[in-house]
Amino acid sequence: MNVLAFTTIIGLCSLGVGFLGALTGLGGGVVIVPLLALGFGVDIRYAIGASLVAVIATSSGAAAAYVKEGFSNIRIGMFLEMATTFGALVGASLATGVSTGVIAIIFGAVLIYSAYLSGRPQPEQQSEAPPDGWATFFKMEAAYPGSEGLISYSVHAIPAGFSLMFVAGILSGLLGIGSGAVKVLAMDHIMRVPFKVSTATSNFMIGVTAAASAGLYLNRGYIDPGLAMPVMLGVLLGSLAGARVLPGAKTGALRLVFALVILGLGIEMIYNGFTGRF
């Protein structure tokens, strides 16, 4: 297979991954690394570099749509980015010292966890508890547009959420993914931010977090232009198309299939990590 064929196939696969990722809301970034590493035998370090770049592209590309809906909260986002960017720097620094087999096993565990999360319903929980003192100091209370006007919300458990965000950052830097699932979990379940606000704010944060580790990956020579080019362009186009088709699409069954694919990839990553194929 020459460069022309390789670029075309990788580009088309990335297009499909970006499309499905946006359509199912599961994000495509998490599938890129296993696709390249397991499907095309690409070294996991090159795969992580290319994936990071695609993650930044999707996050920035989708930002305009999220902003229009008015769900994102830049204060919560910026505050938590202190944790995620520092975590990403730690994760990316670890990536150069940890063996690729260990990275594959951690990656597999995160994939299985993402598949599990996506299978669960997302309840819209409101709480009556008084807001955290930190939340008041950092002015995180806000409101978002609901069906009957603005719905105001407060934020809770800032230290716990901040710590989990640090972990999300480490995973992002170590594995070259957006860690959207962990970010939403921290905001939605721990800080009890409304689900729509968590999702939109998480999308904002993913780009900044990935940029923090991408700088380091670029400097270490993990980002190969020949590989990153079709991945970035494919995922970006695919996700923009997916977001356009999304309203009105019935994604229940598709979501389940995609979750099963992620689960399968997770098991295969762990198996290959243990058998030393990486």
* Residues binding another protein (CB under 8 A): 1-4, 6-7, 36, 40-43, 45-46, 53, 56-57, 59-61, 63-64, 66-68, 70, 72, 74-75, 78-79, 81-82, 85-86, 88-90, 92-93, 96, 137-139, 142, 207-208, 210-216, 218-230, 232-233, 236
CB of 242 or CB of 259, closer to another protein: 242
CA distances from 170 to 41, 93, 165, 179 (A): 25, 9, 9, 9
CB of 3 or CB of 253, closer to another protein: 3
Residue 16 corresponds to which tokens in the numbers above? 């499909």
To the nearest whole angstrom, how small is the minimum distance from the Cβ of residue 260 to another protein?
28
CB of 118 or CB of 194, closer to another protein: 194
At what angle are helices 44-69 and 225-245 packed, to 10 degrees? 30
Which residues lie below 8 Å from residue 252, measured CB to CB, with a gap of 6+? none
To the nearest whole angstrom, how small is the minimum distance from the Cβ of residue 101 to another protein?
14
**Residue 124 CA to chain centroid, in angstroms?**
21
To the nearest whole angstrom, how small is the minimum distance from the Cβ of residue 131 to another protein?
16
To the nearest whole angstrom, how small is the minimum distance from the Cβ of residue 83 to another protein?
10
CA 267/CA 82 separation, integer angstroms: 32
**φ and ψ at residue 145, rounded to 5 degrees:** -70, 125
CB of 222 or CB of 258, closer to another protein: 222
CA 273/CA 174 separation, integer angstroms: 15
To the nearest whole angstrom, how small is the minimum distance from the Cβ of residue 157 to another protein?
19
CB of 258 or CB of 278, closer to another protein: 278
Cα dihedral 223, 228, 231, 237 in deg (nearest 10): 110
Which residues lie below 8 Å from residue 19, measured CB to CB, with a gap of 6+? 28, 238, 239, 241, 242, 245
Q: Where are the alpha helices (DSSP H) in the chain?
A: 3-24, 29-34, 40, 44-69, 74-95, 100-118, 133-137, 158-175, 180-185, 195-219, 225-245, 252-274
CB of 43 or CB of 268, closer to another protein: 43
Q: Name the nearest CA neighbour of 205 among 217, 187, 225.
A: 187
To the nearest whole angstrom, how small is the minimum distance from the Cβ of residue 213 to another protein?
7
To the nearest whole angstrom, how small is the minimum distance from the Cβ of residue 51 to another protein?
13
